Amino acid sequence: MASIAAFRPTPATAVYSATKAAVRTISEGLRQEVKPYDIRTTLIAPGAVATELPDSINDPDIARAVKASYATSLPPASFARIVAFAIGQPKDVDINEVIYRPTGQVA
């Protein structure tokens, strides 16, 4: 699991975005390494999903901005549907990456 931040960092998220980009790179490397063993990998990069993340930010300005961006967050069940879609594919289909976010989310 990564985040859309791996693809589009925003102000004050450089380190977070870098960690998610690292997850993306590791996932792609792993996908190539396990190919001979018929193991599939899928990177899921959600946008705003209703979690405790906005409540874990200590900087008041950043916390305010993140909470505002989560105003239209998706329910956690959206993530479960994406996982079910990826693992429900036939053996000859490898879903490499899924990026999804609320329709109204800009970044």
Query: Do residues 101 and 47 make contact, with C-beta atoms less than 8 angstroms apart?
Result: yes
What positions carry a catalytic annotation? 16
Residue keyed to tokens 């899924």: 98
Q: How many CA atoms lie within 13 A of 12 on its CB side?
A: 10
Residue keyed to tokens 């977070």: 16
